[in-house]
Structure formats: C-alpha cells, structure tokens
C-alpha cells in the first residue's frame, strides 16, 4: 500500500537574535557577536539582497584575536573589540588591542593598538571570500561554494558574470594571494602606537544598479525628561526607522519604510503604512511618499479586486488561516491619508491621493459579505481587527471626503453606524466576568472566543477634526471591559501586550500570534487606551514596553517572548524576529508622543493636547516635531499637564 508523500517542509529561518545587524537600506551587514565574518550562516555584507562578502577573518600574529565585546553604535554601524597576546611580554595580559568598526555601507576600519613596552612587528592577515548569493538562498541554506578571487588593485575581486564584488584596502596590502583569498601586511608598532586598515566592499551589476539610499524625510526630533531612557528609546527608534527607508523604483523621489531586516528589506504594504502613520509626529513626508508608492500598485479595472492594494498573505498562528496584508493596507490607506491631512500634508498632495482613497472605499463597499462583515481572506473568518480597520476607514474617509468637498461623506457615516450595530450584536461574547470580543467569526457565524492582542485595534478609532476622536465599534461599557482585559496580567505580561491571553488554549510565549509580545500591537494599545482615558492600563503597558526597550538596547525587535514578569526575569528574543523592524521602530515614536496626546487639525488651524494623566515617566519634553509643516515642541509636567512651547504661528490651541 502506497503511503502519501508528505508536503515539503518549509525551510526554517536561521536564528538572528544573537547577530549584530547594521542597516542603511538597501545596505545590510550581519555579523556574529565576535565580529569575524566566518562565511557560515547569514554572516556577510549585503546590498539589495545580494551577499557581497561572506568571509572576513582577521588574524594577528598567526592567531585570531580573542573577542571581548560586540556592540551596536547606531542603526548603521557596530564595533567589535578584541585582544591579542603576542608573547612579547611575560604574564597573561594581552598587549595588542583590536577595534573593528563596521558600517552598513560595506566599509570597515580595523585599528590595532600596542600596549607592549617595546616595539613589535606584527604579521596581519585577512582571509576574504564570498559566494555572491541572494539572501533568500542564504536563509534557505542553498548557497554554493565560495567563488574564486582575483587580485584587483589594492584588494580582491569576485564575479559571477552578472554581479561583481570588490574589496579594497587602505593602506594597500604588502601581499595579495587570490588563490587563498588573503591580504597580508607587516605592521611595526611602537609602545602606544596604533595602525588602521580600512576595507571597502562594493558591488557592481552589469544590469541597472538598484536605487541607493534616500534623503531622510523625518524631522530631527528628540525627547528629554526625568526618565533618560525615553530619550534613548526615541532617538534609537527614529534612527532605525530612517535606516530602513528605501526608494520606490517606480519613482525614486518617493521613499517608504522597509518592513525589517534581515528577512523583509522591501515594501510590505500594511506595515509600511502603519510605520508612516505612527511616525506622523516627525512630519508628513514619509506618509505622503508611502501613500504615493502604494497608490501606484492599486488594482484598476473591474472585478472583485478593483481598488484593492495588493499584498501577500501573512501567517496568523494556529487559530486562524493567514490574513491578507492587502486587505489591511487597503483599509489603512484612506485612514492614513486622513490623519496625514490633519497633521499637515499639503492640500495638493491630498488632492492627488484622494482618488486612490475613494477607490479603496469603493473596494470596501463591494467586499462586504452577506452578513455585513468583511472576511479576510474571502471566504474566511471575519476578524475583529479587520472590522475595526474597516470602521476607521469609513469614518476617517468620510471626514476626508467632506473636508475636500467630495460626495459620499454622509453615506459612509451611515455605513459605519450600521457596522457598529452589527458588530456589537455579533462579536461580543457575554460572560460572568463582563464578557469579551470574539477574535473572529467563522463563516457560519460561530464566534472564536479567543482574547488576543488584535482586540487593541477596537480602541484605535482615529483622529478627526478639532482634536476629536472617531467613534469606536464598542459602546462605553464594553470599551471599559476591554480596557480592563488588556491591562490584566493575562494580557499585560509586564513587558508589553501579549498577542494572545496567557490562559487561552494553545498559548505560546514564542508564538507570533499566540502569545508573543508584538510591539506594534502594544503601541496601538498604549495610545488607544490613553486616548480613551484608561490611564492606569496605558501606563502599565507603557512602562513594560520601555523596560523591554532598555533590555534590547532600545532597538526593539518586531516581537519577543515574555512569560509573566517577576523579579529578575527578562523578555526573551524571538529567534526569527526582524530587528530593526519598521513598525517596532515607529512604535517608540508613537508611544512617547502619546504621552503628550497631540491632536492636530492643520486644515482647521488648531492643535489640541490630551496628555496621559499622572505623567508615568515624569516630566517630558518633545521637540523638533512637525505639525502643519512647521516645528512643534511640547512639554508635559510631572503633574501630567501639557504646554505647547513651539508651534506654527497660524495654529491655535484648542480642545
């Protein structure tokens, strides 16, 4: 009897949580903590997804230096410290210090410093090699052997015919051995002297070169206050987000935030929009460029996908089938455009993008199922967060249409009211503890009674004119109940919001949708709870995120594992998580600006402040923000009172 052949296993992503990553998109360097690029695993210098150098092993005096420390110096550079004991002095102390500073653009400075009491002569050797493999092939373990090298001026060169890579050195090596991939120097160092070797690795394609780095559209804002960690988190978040910016090949003048490294250094429609939305306090430039980029991808013509922004499926854990990121992006488009308009996106840019937003709303009208809910994917479950995204798109889209003198605003407000009524009847599961929203409805109408972090989107209603917030899908009583649930230990791990409650069947602290902390959802919860007036729950999640950020060197991964926090515990890195990731970086900006509760209405020439009561981080000042295209600064006192310090002359304080 023949046995069925099992489907091929999906290749497992190599772990990256211990790697030191430098990124300045489209450039990327992945190094182990000791700093030697070994040619194994993901080690290497990459550009536009191609590994230009996989091996760069330093030997001093015939031996590899002893690694002491590897550390990030910023989004685009890292330093690796090591020592060498030459034997010139008696005793166990090393007498040569080695400092390697590696940049995402492929440059590296190797500095050797002598602590010896007399002059030493050091043979220094670098063993270089590469396979010129694509990152996807490296991740899947499908790389070939190293390519043969050729001597090239002051370095070595490798070629596949289509792609070339060159590593040059300054000063030029005394000896180059292409057959072994070796560059050699003889260095004389007197007591206290240093010598530096600079390497530069570049790639050349015979085809058109990929677009290079973009100008940063984000303002140079900063946070400062009683808790110095806020400044470090804000700065690192902004730097990481800027490092992930890529040009749109269809229009190199526009930039978007790549989803994250190392796996998704490219456009991810929903996540790029979420990052742009959360970064609106740093200006509308990124939001406008991201919206234009996605507008060029919108499906045209007729049929069920007309007006939809395409996007791949995304895993949703073991409870539900994959969701469509295109659905989320299509619903986010009119909402992000509307909020960018409130923050000061120029009217001409809004007018240019408005037809795309109208087509997104048109797709939504046609995509609704017979039960009045939006399936994702169709046919499939009706997820609670998808209904929240649709509701926000309708209400913010209505405001946008009305403000721009277009038809349809009242129709969309009525549509949203109908969705609210249906949602409150079908999605709420009553219980002795006050009830909860269903994670989803099955196509037959049965609720999935899981409490998940996605429920935070029910509280994220969006910004309207005059500093008002849009209505939510839940009434006030159920909103209070959901806030209590999100702030309780089953959901608040002490390090952020779990993606599924700890007591739910199938909970997994490492599960990206079944228990791990997803930074983006945690940030949404903090800001939404603060806006809705649930200060205690917002402050608890905020402190947990900030503590986790400190543990991760202020560069939060997109997700991490967290058992319930206890004395001496710590969040665990997820081996497959991107770091940095656009939504995690933007989350730091979103959370910290939520403390001030900035609610701008640039078209109405007002800005309102609704700071988080109790000032959970003490006094805080945010400067260098942008509202209505002009610098904006706000100060929050230790009593939780907010004051505008710098703003455009035309803006009036309201709310």
Tens digits of residue pLDDT in 606-645: 999 999 999 999 999 999 999 999 999 999 999 999 999 9
> Can you give the pLDDT at residue 205?
55
| CA 504 to mean position of chain CA atoms | 28
Per-residue pLDDT, averaged over 53-76, amounts to 96
What percentage of the chain has pLDDT greater than the value 90?
Answer: 87
The full 3-state SS of 208-240, as one line of letters, equals CCCCCCCCCCCCCCEEEECCHHHHHHHHHHHHH
In this structure, what are the phi and psi dihedrals at residue 139, rounded to the nearest 5 degrees?
-65, -35
Tens digits of residue pLDDT in 298-334: 999 888 899 999 998 888 887 788 888 999 999 999 9
> Can you give the pLDDT at residue 212?
55
In the structure, what pLDDT confidence band is assigned to residue 56 with cuts at 50, 70 and 90? very high
Q: Looking at per-residue confidence, does 204 or 80 come out higher?
A: 80
Residue 132: is its pLDDT beyond 90? yes
- pLDDT, the chain, mean: 94
Residue 41: partners with Cβ closer than 8 Å, 6 or more residues away: 14, 32, 138
> Can you give the pLDDT at residue 565?
93
Tens digits of residue pLDDT in 337-391: 999 999 999 999 999 999 999 999 999 999 999 999 999 988 899 999 999 999 9
Cα distances from 122 to residues 84, 156, 184, 190, in angstroms, run: 11, 22, 10, 11
> Can you give the pLDDT at residue 303?
86
Residues 512 and 317 sit within 8 Å (Cβ to Cβ): yes
Structure tokens at 177: 């051995």
> Can you give the pLDDT at residue 397?
98
Cα distances from 497 to residues 233, 283, 493, 518, 576, in angstroms, run: 18, 28, 6, 7, 19
Per-residue pLDDT, averaged over 234-259, amounts to 96
Per-residue pLDDT, averaged over 91-110, amounts to 95
Residue 487: is its pLDDT beyond 70? yes
What is the torsional sign of CA 398, 470, 524, 432? negative
> Can you give the pLDDT at residue 213?
60
Per-residue pLDDT, averaged over 567-574, amounts to 93
Residue 646: is its pLDDT beyond 50? yes
As to burial, measured by CB atoms within 10 angstroms (0-12 exposed, 13-18 middle, 19+ buried), residue 371 is middle
> Can you give the pLDDT at residue 389?
98
Structure tokens at 110: 């190797």
> Can you give the pLDDT at residue 318?
79
> Can you give the pLDDT at residue 210?
44
Per-residue pLDDT, averaged over 283-293, amounts to 98
Region of residue 249 (phi > 0: left; psi between -120 and 50: alpha; otherwise: beta): alpha
> Can you give the pLDDT at residue 211?
47
What percentage of the chain has pLDDT greater than the value 70?
Answer: 96
* Positions of E strands within 411-491: 428-429, 436-437, 440-441, 447-448
Give the chain's end-to-end CA distance (angstroms, integer).
75
> Can you give the pLDDT at residue 292?
98
Per-residue pLDDT, averaged over 484-510, amounts to 96
Nearest of 642, 637, 630, 631 to residue 598 by alpha carbon: 642
> Could you count the other beta carbons within 10 Å of the beta carbon of residue 296?
12
> Can you give the pLDDT at residue 209?
38
Q: Which residue has the tokens 């939305």?
A: 277
> Can you give the pLDDT at residue 655?
59
Per-residue pLDDT, averaged over 496-502, amounts to 97
In the structure, what pLDDT confidence band is assigned to residue 91 with cuts at 50, 70 and 90? confident
> Can you give the pLDDT at residue 143?
87
Three-class DSSP category at 270: helix
Tens digits of residue pLDDT in 3-20: 555 555 555 778 899 999
Tens digits of residue pLDDT in 153-169: 899 999 998 899 999 99
> Can you give the pLDDT at residue 379?
84
């Amino acid at each position: 009897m023949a046995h069925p052949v099992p489907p091929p296993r999906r290749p497992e992503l190599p772990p990256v949580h211990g790697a030191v990553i430098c990124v300045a998109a489209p450039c990327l360097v992945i190094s182990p903590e000791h700093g030697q690029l070994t040619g194994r695993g993901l080690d290497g210098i990459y550009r536009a997804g191609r590994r230009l150098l996989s091996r760069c092993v330093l030997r001093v005096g015939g031996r590899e230096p002893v690694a002491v420390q590897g550390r990030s110096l910023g989004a685009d550079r890292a330093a690796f410290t090591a020592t060498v004991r030459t034997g010139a002095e008696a005793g166990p102390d090393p007498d040569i210090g080695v400092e390697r500073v590696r940049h995402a653009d492929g440059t590296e400075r190797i500095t050797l410093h002598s602590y010896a009491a007399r002059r030493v002569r050091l043979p220094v050797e670098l063993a270089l090699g590469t396979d010129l493999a694509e990152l996807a092939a490296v991740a899947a373990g499908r790389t070939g052997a190293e390519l043969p090298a050729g001597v090239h001026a002051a370095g070595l060169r490798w070629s596949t015919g289509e792609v070339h890579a060159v590593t040059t050195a300054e000063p030029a090596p005394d000896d180059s051995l292409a057959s072994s991939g070796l560059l050699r120097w003889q260095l004389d160092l007197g007591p206290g002297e240093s010598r530096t070797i600079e390497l530069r690795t570049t790639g050349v394609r015979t085809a058109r070169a990929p677009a290079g780095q973009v100008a940063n559209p984000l303002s140079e804002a900063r946070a400062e206050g009683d808790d110095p960690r806020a400044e470090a988190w804000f700065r690192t978040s902004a730097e990481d987000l800027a490092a992930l910016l890529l040009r749109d090949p269809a229009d190199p003048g526009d930039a978007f935030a790549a989803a994250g490294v190392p796996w998704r250094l490219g456009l991810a429609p929903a996540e790029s929009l979420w990052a742009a939305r959360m970064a609106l306090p740093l200006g509308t430039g990124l939001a406008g460029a991201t919206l234009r980029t996605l507008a060029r991808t919108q499906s045209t013509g007729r049929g069920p996908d007309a007006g939809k922004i395409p996007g791949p499926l995304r895993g949703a854990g073991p409870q539900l089938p994959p969701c469509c990121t295109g659905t989320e992006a299509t619903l986010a488009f009119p909402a992000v455009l509307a909020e960018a308009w409130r923050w000061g996106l120029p009217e001409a840019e809004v007018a240019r993008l408005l037809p795309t937003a109208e087509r997104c709303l048109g797709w939504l009208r046609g995509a609704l199922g017979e039960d009045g809910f939006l399936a994702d994917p169709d046919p499939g479950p009706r997820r609670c967060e998808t209904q929240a995204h649709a509701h926000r798109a309708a209400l913010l889209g209505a405001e946008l249409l009305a403000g721009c003198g277009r038809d349809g605003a009242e129709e969309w407000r009525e549509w949203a009211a109908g969705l609210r009524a249906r949602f409150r009847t079908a999605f709420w599961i009553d219980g002795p503890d006050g009830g909860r929203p269903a994670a989803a409805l099955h196509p037959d109408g049965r609720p999935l009674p899981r409490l998940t972090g996605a429920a935070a989107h029910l509280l994220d209603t969006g910004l309207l004119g005059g500093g008002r917030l849009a209505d939510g899908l839940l009434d006030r009583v159920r909103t209070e109940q959901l806030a209590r649930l999100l702030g309780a230990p089953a959901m608040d791990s002490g390090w952020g919001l779990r993606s599924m409650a700890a007591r739910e069947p199938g909970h997994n602290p490492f599960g990206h949708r079944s228990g791990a902390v997803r930074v983006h959802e945690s940030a949404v919860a903090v800001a939404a709870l603060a806006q809705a007036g649930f200060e205690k729950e917002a402050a608890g999640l905020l402190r947990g995120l900030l503590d986790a950020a400190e543990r991760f060197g202020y560069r939060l991964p997109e997700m991490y594992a967290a058992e319930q926090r206890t004395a001496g515990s710590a969040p665990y890195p997820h081996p497959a998580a991107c770091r940095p990731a656009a939504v995690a970086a933007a989350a730091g900006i979103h959370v910290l600006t939520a403390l001030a509760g900035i609610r701008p209405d640039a078209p109405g020439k007002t800005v309102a402040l609704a700071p988080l009561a109790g000032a959970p981080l003490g006094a805080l000042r945010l400067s260098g923000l942008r509202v209505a295209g002009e610098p904006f600064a706000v100060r929050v006192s230790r009593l939780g009172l907010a004051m505008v310090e710098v703003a455009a002359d035309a803006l009036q304080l309201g709310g």
